[in-house]
Structure 1
């Protein structure tokens, strides 16, 4: 199943527009229905769920492993959660299992402040409400680059040159950080690089296509980059890289835009005002930034009664209002009225508006299986147990097994 409307264009139009609204009361109603949410745990979700909680009787579970927990939790009857935090990369299992409900009636009832580009549709029905856009793009230490006379890298070859210069200068523990933790993260890092080299994940008949020249080049470039990273990069997820930046241990990383605001949080960062952002580097001349575009937002469980769904959607709208944005402006590139793009949004905006632009992460059943297969098998290459060709062959074998079980291949 493919999500056709990814609601990205309107978000980046905000880069040239300062939107103003009048803040409303903390919560416009008193919620007396128990509402539970399950979402990722980065700063934007903290802001949204805190705003929801102002209505009362809301308990939020913020968990970076949400994507593995949601399918079973939403398949339960009744669902273990009323609200799910999703993205275009994690909503597909819920759609395929039919465990989230269409939202058109609730949008008509309570969604008067939503903009059209927040309405994520599948087969004409609204199935999710987008709150923000996200992408992995280059973040770098402005002070180090200035001191060493370095230009901001535009290509991955230039990233390698800059990394060597930074390593020779000995100004940080490691020139580079990367979200290459085993499983989902390393698979996504490969996805970005693979697309940068012009790769295609699967053919029209759903057969796999990653064991290709683009796949080999992607792995080879990723391996070159690891020479400048913490040797424990296979445990390095987004939080790990964020903390490396905040503690002054790294000088560059292709990191999620939603992590940018944390760099300037004086309560936890030693590099306030020192981190800049730029477009994700390209892998080949004339190619797009080697990354993908994402949206994050909310869905409502199907396996709950209508009264709970009604209350959940009302609570969600309170969490996605302009008052929340005004208190968390730097935590995301919001799709919500009231957002003013800040300095750390510039890299994401430059990435999304590049020519050619990166694609939106494919929200298909095939891509879900491919992402899992990549996460299962890529470690073998980076631990030296398999060649690039052997690794990609193992990925395709894993994918084929899953696809046959799912009925996508015979």
Structure 2
């Protein structure tokens, strides 16, 4: 089982550890390639890996759809993969990534225990950061309008109404509701916030419930304050809305926070603050999920290539990289010092009751796909909430039967 709890706790403290490397500690003469997401933290890590030479990175926000086939090839198309607790599962299930215990013993003695992602007792990934979607907001607008920072989604909607009436931004609210994975993830967050459970012990769906209806209705209420093109709005879209001064609030990934103060591309430097993810109910957890990101090594490559790839990865995850890119993430790596823009992620990680860790299960992967395909029908008014949830359950069941998760 993946040790999410230890990782989540680690995000709330400053991590101390080994000394930084001034440059790559070895000259890599083996070609090493990486396929990962493309946000700022991965750019920082891949740049540090490149210092060793013979390294090529493909940073692609569609990495999760490309990795299974790429790593199943023999030889694998990439030596290294950037994964998260929501994307590692198909690679583990197909046996296309290798246990790292021997490589950790040889080249990873400096790693913190909470970086060692174990599945069934074996180290299968090296964690580099924790991530979560939490509230970011324009502090100057809130101060000018005398608004309190929202703690619940009902309060978010109240603040959005006041901001819309003031006419100080194009849209009071942004959200990552792009049809597909992003929309599914926003539903996952809200559904857990309302106390929902996706499947029972037999992997049968339990989506069509009061929590499911409440989640859909809250998401629909949010869209009244958003850009009408919200179904194409991914993380980069929302980040740019913030940077261009077009929105005042969003529940956005913590890994995007540093971009708000990037003077080369942001018009709101120093104006965006962060807080815990809003709750769906007064006494509930933050309506979000806790994630980790990290590195895996391909199975279908020679052992010599795997060793070189692991050593390159260790250079990308060293203290020097963190010191040069401290604001890019809530790092699990020694040397990280929490900053102003990390406070929302830390508050979310520390909240009681705890936010849920995103489940690393095959069933959840199938459910997430069905959600991404189906939720939009309610938001656009094509289906009722109950029909939307019923159809999503039906799509999930078809996939679950094909995967052997439930009986025919």
Does residue 1:180 correspond to 2:151, yes or no? no
Question: In structure 2, which of residues 139, 142, 146 is the aligned counterpart of residue 142 of structure 1?
Answer: 139
For 1:168, the equivalent position in structure 2 comes to 165
- Report the TM-score, using the length of structure 1 for normalisation: 0.98
Aligned counterparts of 2:4 and 2:261: Cα–Cα separation in 1 = 33
Separation in 2, partners of 1:299, 1:168:
49
CA shift at 1:27, angstroms? 0.2
Whole-Å Cα distance in 2 between the matches of residues 87 and 213 of structure 1? 30
Which residue in the other structure is 2:367 paired with? 370
Moved more, 378-387 or 214-223: 378-387
Q: 2:342 aligns with which of 334, 340, 345?
A: 345
Please state how far the C-alpha of 1:398 moved relative to its aligned partner. Answer: 0.4
How big is the shift at 1:189? 0.2
Flag structure 1 segments of 5+ consecutive residues without an equivalent: none
Q: Determine the C-alpha separation between the residues in 1 that align with 2:331 and 2:245.
A: 28
Deviation of 1:4 (Å): 4.1
Residue aligned with 1:271, SS: coil
Match of 1:156 in 2: 153
Query: What is the RMSD computed on CA atoms of the aligned residues?
Result: 1.0
Question: Where do 1:297-308 residues align within 5 Å?
Answer: 297-308=294-305
| Cα shift readout 1:13-45 (whole Å, capped 9, x = no counterpart) | 41xx46375431210000011111000000000
Query: For residues 95-120 of structure 1, what are the alpha-carbon distances to aligned partners after superposition, in whole Å with 9 as ceiling and x for unaligned?
Result: 11110000000000000110000000
Q: Name the residue aligned to 2:121.
A: 124
**Which 4+ runs in 1 deviate beyond 6 A?**
none
Alignment pair present for 1:321 and 2:318: yes
Give per-residue Cα distances to partners, 1:175-225, cap 9 Å, x unaligned: 000000000000000000000000000011110011110000000000000
* Equivalent residue number for residue 101 of structure 1: 98
Query: Number of paired residues?
Result: 407
Task: Tell me the residue number matched to 1:8.
Answer: 7
Are 1:207 and 2:204 an aligned pair? yes
Quote the Cα distance in structure 2 between the aligned partners of 1:216 and 1:233. 20
TM-superposed deviation, 1:12: 2.8
The 8 Å contact of residues 11 and 333 in structure 1, kept in 2 or not, is answered as: no
Cα distance in 1 for residues equivalent to 2:18 and 2:366: 42
Task: Sort the Cα spacing of 1:298 and 1:6 in 2 relative to 1 into closer, same or farther, 3 A.
Answer: farther
- In the alignment, which residue of structure 1 is the partner of 2:83? 86
Match of 2:332 in 1: 335
| Match for residue 285 of structure 2 among 283, 288, 294 | 288
* Aligned mates of 1:10, 1:249 — CA distance in 2: 34
SS in 1 for 2:356: coil
Q: Is 1:271 equivalent to 2:265 in the alignment?
A: no
Contact 1:3 1:121 survives alignment (8 Å): yes
- Whole-angstrom distance in 2 between the partners of 1:10 and 1:252: 26
Q: Answer yes or no: is the 8 Å Cα contact 1:6–1:120 preserved in 2.
A: no
Q: Shift of the alpha carbon at 1:297? A: 0.1
Mapped pair 1:196 → 2:193: yes
- The within-5 A match list for 1:373-392 is 373-392=370-389
Q: Which residue of 2 aligns with 1:37?
A: 34
1:20-76 deviations in Å (ceiling 9; x for gaps): 754312100000111110000000000000000000010000000000000000000
The structural deviation recorded for 1:313 is 0.1
- How many Å separate the matches in 2 of 1:384 and 1:254? 23
Secondary structure in 2 aligned to 1:251?
strand
Please give the alpha-carbon distance, in whole angstroms, between the structure 2 residues aligned to 1:361 and 1:282.
17
Q: CA deviation at 1:7?
A: 3.5
Give, in whole Å, the separation in 1 of the partners of 2:71 and 2:342. Answer: 33
Instruction: Say which of 226, 230, 247 aligns to 1:250.
Output: 247
